[in-house]
Amino acid sequence: MGRAVLLTSNLPQLQNLIKRDPVSYKDEFLQQWNHYNSIRLIFHLNPDEHAQHFRELVTFIAQVATCYPTETSQFPSHISSILLENYAMLSPDTRKSLIQTMVMLRNKNVISSIELLRCLFPLLPRTTSSTLRASIRKTILSDIRTANMRTKNHKLNRAIQAMLFNMAEKGLEDQNVGNKGKVREQASSSDNAGHKGEDAMWAVILTKQLWKKGVWSDAKPVSIMAIGCFHPVVKVQSASIHFFLGEDEEEDSDNEEEDDVDVKTLQHRREINKKTRSGEKKLQKKLNSARKKKHSKDTAQPNFSALQLLNDPQTFAEKLYDILNHHDKRFSLDHKILIMQLLSRVVGSHKLCVLGFYTYIVKYLTYHQLRVPSILVALAQSVHDLTPPDALTPVIQKLAHEFVHPGVASEVIAAGINAIREVCRRQPWAMEEDLLGDLIEYKKSKDKAVVAASRGLLQLYREVNPGMLKRRERGKEAAMGMASGTQPLPFGHTANAAVDIEGLSLLENHLKKMEENGEEIDNEDDEAAWEGWDVDSESESESESSDGWINVDDDDDINISDSEDEKEDNYEKNASAGPSPENPSALATTKILTPADFALLAELRVKAATQAVEQGGGTKAKRKLAALEAELKSSQSANDGNTFISENDILGPRKKAKADYEERMESIQKGREGREKYGSRKGKKNKDAPSSSTNREKARNKPIMMILSSGSVRGKKKASLREKQQKLRAHVERGKKARK
């Protein structure tokens, strides 16, 4: 009897005994289980009554649930229903304890990941505690990441993505636009009416984090983020747009890894606190994280893979334009520029046509417009070779009228010409011949930025369409090309199919040298040659299965050649004559070239051009080398996903900008290197014990205008005859003592 009373009052001891011998202490557990059920019924009616004892019983049962799986089969559903149905009525300690209980049950494999996440997802927008919300968020992300660590858990991913999809869609149909374009929520008696925007925001945040950590990389999370781009809540829309732009936005102040670190505050705190090694390590860790975060913000790259995985990009772009056009007064300028940037990148990367965008953006093309460089970047990125020139000609005329005239600063002129050049680089036929001649005349300007912009436009048209230039401005190569009959392709026309690959003989000779030196050459079916170049799609592996290549038996009746027999015979006879349009290199017909082979070919072409320049090839060889290097650099940036322009391309070369505080301090510290400690040396040079000068010595060197209003000078003027006699007598006495 005494033991039973002791165990009833000491749940940790009973828990320890049950884990050692579950069978012997089953009666004691059942007693506590019945007590838990009775307390739970009371807890449903009044959560404040017996709350502490209820939490202790819940923790006890969660610890020993694996010992009695049959008896505790309904225990997880009890806790989940209490959290989801009565969350607002629970105290903070009870909420935290019940959530920790669910996590404990998941760690003990009592419940699955889907059951845990179905309980935690609805709690995120309803939790007011920042600490608890951060804990729930961390638990969700770590559980999903652990489940996909070795292999992709497609079943779990599909279930979670369905939940996030529903969360992202909440609020799309329940919100409408009221007067003056402001969002107005419809009245609803539902308890979750105020959390629909938060639900969508958390769906966007979690999807963004899982994509960033590499847990998800297929088209389904991209679809969730695409829905967020059309959400009426501006915060949700902004976070979704930042995802596609590849920028990190401050999403939640609870996330410690994303909070801005005040370096000065940390250093000041380190100076006034006790000096310890652990404190130094913590400070250095925070400083390193702040430095990495600043570097990642400065070098943010567009999310190129997400843009390519968009489903129906034409409809996506048209919806973005409708939002931008219909709710122009609702959004701030910064948000409108975000939508412009995303719309332009989708249009440029997929070569879409949203012609209304060029009419819309014309009203923002003024030199006094705020953030006009970002608007010019969005304009240039939206243009491609399939954009109709008629839609771009008014835009170019507007740019020339607003930015390129004598009434504005030279920086404005340079930005305008650079913007026109970037538009015409993608669609050269949008330029008028008379306007082109006027813009090229700015190469005689005295400002270097304007001269560089004008010469860049001139060089562009020397390459793409020299016929629009005057004869004296075409250059030697362009004039020779026009004399030989070479004409640019009109809009809508494409070049003929390539017969041979330029410079392929260099790759063939390189492979022959490797064979002569005894080096191994990978076979054409070697997977290593394609490593890092192909893109794996998990969604394809889920929806469809591929049986690989189909083996076709050799049959003399099958003719796989699209040329005639006579041409084949002539080709075999001329095979030894070297590569030409009629006689391509043998390597092209005997080996399937991989992306790695093309990369090697580009490097070999640059190397050959460099040797030609070193051997005195002249100006033509130098131009060819510069063109090959530019082509190699552009191809490398395309492989990295960096195919978009920046504001620096629009602004062009500028004068050195004013240094900020960090740059000034860095320059000052650099100038102090290699010298003694800075500061005044007055009074310290000829003394045994270095010390500064006295206040009396400093007073002697003060300017007269500084001491006219001092109390000592005023006192001399107001001194009586007796005081003057005393001062004079004291002065005489000091002189006598000094002479002795």
Burial label, 136 (beta-carbon count in 10 A; 0-12, 13-18, 19+): buried
User: Which residue, among 90, 4, 6, 13, has the nearest Cα to 52 in the 3D structure?
Assistant: 90
Is 688 strand, coil or helix? coil
Measured CA to CA, the distance from residue 129 to residue 96 in angstroms comes to 10
Q: What is the mean pLDDT of residues 663-679?
A: 79
Chain position carrying tokens 């609870």: 254
Contact present, 75 and 31 (Cβ < 8 Å):
no
Of 77-91, 420-434, 494-508, 675-689, the one with minimum mean pLDDT is 675-689
Of 286-290, 439-443, 451-455, the one with minimum mean pLDDT is 286-290
CA dihedral 561, 564, 566, 571 (to 10 degrees): -40
> pLDDT higher for 564 or 613?
613
Residue 176: strand pairing partners: 184
Measured CA to CA, the distance from residue 182 to residue 201 in angstroms comes to 19
Measured CA to CA, the distance from residue 79 to residue 102 in angstroms comes to 7
Measured CA to CA, the distance from residue 80 to residue 71 in angstroms comes to 17
Q: What is the mean pLDDT of residues 441-448?
A: 92
What is the per-residue pLDDT across 355-372, written as a single tens digit (0 to 9) for each? 999 999 999 999 999 999
- Residue type at 93? D
User: Which residue, among 343, 254, 242, 338, has the nearest Cα to 297 in the 3D structure?
Assistant: 242
CA distances from 63 to 72, 103, 490, 677 (A): 11, 11, 76, 64
What is the per-residue pLDDT across 294-348, written as a single tens digit (0 to 9) for each? 655 544 555 668 898 999 999 999 999 999 999 888 899 999 999 999 999 999 9
User: Which residue, among 612, 634, 633, has the nearest Cα to 623 in the 3D structure?
Assistant: 612
Residue 177: strand pairing partners: 183
Measured CA to CA, the distance from residue 593 to residue 608 in angstroms comes to 20
CA distances from 319 to 228, 297, 313 (A): 12, 29, 10
Measured CA to CA, the distance from residue 58 to residue 85 in angstroms comes to 17
How far is CA 265 from its chain centroid? 27
Kindly state the tokens that stand for 95: 């909420």
Q: Tell me how crowded residue 184 is: count the other CB atoms within 10 A of its CB.
A: 11
Of 59-73, 390-404, 698-712, the one with minimum mean pLDDT is 698-712
Of 90-104, 165-179, 430-444, the one with minimum mean pLDDT is 165-179
Chain position carrying tokens 């005489």: 732
Kindly state the tokens that stand for 128: 């007011």
Quick one: what percent of the chain has pLDDT higher than 70?
A: 78
What is the per-residue pLDDT across 88-147, written as a single tens digit (0 to 9) for each? 889 999 999 999 999 999 999 999 999 999 999 999 888 889 999 999 999 999 999 999
Kindly state the tokens that stand for 45: 């009616």
Q: What is the mean pLDDT of residues 6-21?
A: 82
What is the per-residue pLDDT across 17-75, written as a single tens digit (0 to 9) for each? 999 999 999 999 999 999 999 999 888 888 877 888 899 999 999 999 999 999 999 99
Predicted TM-score (pTM) of this structure: 0.69
Buried b (16+ CB within 10 A) or exposed e, 24-43: ebeebbeebbeebeebbeeb
Contact present, 581 and 499 (Cβ < 8 Å):
yes
Q: What is the pLDDT of residue 331?
A: 93
CA atoms within 13 A on the CB side of 420: 35
With a cut of 70, say whether residue 527 has pLDDT above it.
Answer: no
CA atoms within 13 A on the CB side of 295: 6
Of 134-148, 273-287, 452-466, 557-571, the one with minimum mean pLDDT is 557-571
Of 275-279, 591-595, 713-717, 718-722, the one with minimum mean pLDDT is 591-595
**Packing angle between helix 219-228 and helix 196-212, nearest 10 degrees?**
140
Q: How confident is the model at residue 397 (pLDDT cuts 50, 70, 90)?
A: very high
Residue 185: strand pairing partners: 175
Contact present, 205 and 252 (Cβ < 8 Å):
yes
Contact present, 338 and 375 (Cβ < 8 Å):
no
Contact present, 143 and 113 (Cβ < 8 Å):
yes
Chain position carrying tokens 């000091």: 734
Quick one: what percent of the chain has pLDDT higher than 90?
A: 43
Contact present, 286 and 266 (Cβ < 8 Å):
yes
Contact present, 325 and 355 (Cβ < 8 Å):
no
> pLDDT higher for 489 or 338?
338
Residue 175: strand pairing partners: 185
Measured CA to CA, the distance from residue 231 to residue 237 in angstroms comes to 6
Of 368-377, 381-390, 414-423, 707-716, the one with minimum mean pLDDT is 707-716
Contact present, 216 and 207 (Cβ < 8 Å):
yes
Q: If you ran DSSP here, which 8-state letter would residue 236 be given?
A: H
User: Which residue, among 595, 592, 588, 594, has the nearest Cα to 636 in the 3D structure?
Assistant: 595
The chain-wide mean pLDDT, for the chain, equals: 81
What is the per-residue pLDDT across 182-236, written as a single tens digit (0 to 9) for each? 444 443 434 444 456 788 999 999 999 999 988 998 999 999 999 999 999 999 9
Contacts of 43 (CB under 8 A, 6+ apart): 49, 50, 51, 54, 82
Q: Which backbone phi and psi does 574 adopt, to 5 degrees?
A: -95, 15
What is the 3-state composition of the chain as percent helix, strand, coil, each rounded to the nearest 5? Answer: 65, 0, 35
Residue 184: strand pairing partners: 176
Measured CA to CA, the distance from residue 619 to residue 496 in angstroms comes to 29
Q: If you ran DSSP here, which 8-state letter would residue 250 be given?
A: -
Contacts of 497 (CB under 8 A, 6+ apart): none
With a cut of 90, say whether residue 423 has pLDDT above it.
Answer: yes
